[in-house]
Amino acid sequence: MSLANPHTTRETERYERYLTTERHAAALTTSAYLRDLRQFIDYLQATGKDDIAKVTAQDVRRWVLTLMDKEGDTPRSVRRKLSSLNSFFRFEMREGKMTKNPARLVIVPKMAKTLPYFFQEKEMDAALDRQEANGEEETLEEMRDQLILDLFYQTGMRVSELCNVKESDFDYSRRSLKVIGKRQKERRIPLGDGIIASVRAYVERRNAEIGGTERLLTRMSGEAVYPRMVYNIVKEHMSRVSTLGKRSPHVLRHTFASTLLNAGADIYAVKELLGHASLASTEIYTHSTFAQLLKTYKQAHPRGS
């Protein structure tokens, strides 16, 4: 395939037809793939290459370095562009224009792991401190919202798991909660006396006001709460006590894990409580807790700075 006029070349047009008619790629996806391909072709032209069929893995590696060093692309952007090249080279191999895929031999740059957000203990204390406004008794809705925050903080459940919890999932005698996680994997989470008392008080009042339901947490109509609704409830309440950029149910899950690890909990136990399939998913919290320890050390130790 000649690079003389990459924007009008017949091969590029055939590749575009392949994306839209055979792969049924969305218009934006097709546009992105072609844009990435043309950027690579422009780079090849600048280096004196005139035939894309002769591209080597070394050519692709040099392009990746150019993207990161001179263009300032992020690892995420580079990974996407390599994916675009992979798709194109596979097409060329299918068409018999190339015998191997040079992009397949290039190691994609690792994406930097972002540390999880979590709320401070004082913020959680403020959020969970029940203060009756003007001495008035809290409504059932307020009681439910408070329980949602408390359950997230004390169990580390995912929002989908919380929405699906039934009263029958609680074992009051054993002080535990059965949770059905991803891939229908079941786990048991221990509970303290306080949260058990809160659940029982809420159920008793809910049954009295709107009747018994299968799901634990419901709307005032008796229908179960849903993820977007729970997200909005958490965001509204945590916005009152925290200036954290993210204030979502997942941040409460992070807070649960970080709180346990900061208190010296075994990482394998935290893994089981969170329902993680791999320890690698749990280890991200150790980076967060170490960062907190380092901050404390620098503040407290006379030679820490």
* Structure-model confidence comparison of residues 52 and 96, the more confident one: 96
Question: Which pLDDT value is given to residue 295?
Answer: 58
Q: How many domains is the chain built from?
A: 2
Q: What is the domain-level CATH number for residue 97?
A: 1.10.150.130
Grade residue 168 by pLDDT with cuts at 50, 70 and 90: very high
Same domain flag for 50 and 167: no
Mean pLDDT along residues 197-202 = 96
Question: Which pLDDT value is given to residue 39?
Answer: 92
Whether 250 is catalytic = yes
Which among 14, 49, 188, 276 is annotated as catalytic? 276
> Domain containing 99: what range?
10-105
Q: What is the domain-level CATH number for residue 238?
A: 1.10.443.10
Which among 182, 200, 240, 287 is annotated as catalytic? 182
Whether 182 is catalytic = yes
In this model, does residue 286 exceed pLDDT 90? no
Whether 158 is catalytic = yes
Domain stop point among 80, 105, 130: 105
Same domain flag for 87 and 233: no
Which among 81, 237, 253, 254 is annotated as catalytic? 253
Same domain flag for 64 and 212: no
Write the pLDDT tens digit of every residue in 87-125.
Answer: 999 999 998 888 999 988 888 767 666 678 899 999 999
Q: What's the per-residue H, E or C state across the chain?
A: CECCCCCCCHHHHHHHHHHHHHCCCCHHHHHHHHHHHHHHHHHHHHCCCCEHHHCCHHHHHHHHHHHHHCCCCCHHHHHHHHHHHHHHHHHHHHCCCCCCCHHHHCCCCCCCCCCCCCCCHHHHHHHHCCCCHHHCCCCHHHHHHHHHHHHHHHHCCCHHHHHHCEHHHEECCCCEEEEECHHHCEEEEECCHHHHHHHHHHHHHHHHHHCCCCECCECCCCCECCHHHHHHHHHHHHHCCCCCCCCCHHHHHHHHHHHHHHCCCCHHHHHHHHCCCCHHHHHHHHHHHHHHHHHHHHHHCCCCC
Whether 61 is catalytic = no
Same domain flag for 99 and 172: no
Mean pLDDT along residues 43-52 = 85
Question: Which pLDDT value is given to residue 263?
Answer: 84
Q: Point out which residues pair with 186 in neighbouring strands.
A: 180
Domain stop point among 48, 78, 105: 105
Mean pLDDT along residues 255-266 = 89
Whether 100 is catalytic = no
Which among 81, 144, 158, 247 is annotated as catalytic? 158
Nearest to 257, CA basis, from 165, 162, 155, 187: 155
Same domain flag for 158 and 296: yes
Report how far apart the first and last C-alpha atoms of the chain are (Å, whole number).
Answer: 59
Of the CA atoms within 13 Å of residue 200, those in its CB half-sphere come to 11
Range among 52-61, 92-101, 218-227 with highest mean pLDDT value:
218-227
Domain annotation covers residue 59: yes
Write the pLDDT tens digit of every residue in 67-95.
Answer: 888 777 888 888 899 999 999 999 999 98
Whether 185 is catalytic = no
Domain annotation covers residue 4: no
Domain annotation covers residue 305: no
Q: What is the dihedral of CA 136, 142, 144, 147, to 10 degrees?
A: -90
Mean confidence (pLDDT) of the chain: 86
Same domain flag for 53 and 131: no
Domain stop point among 72, 105, 138: 105
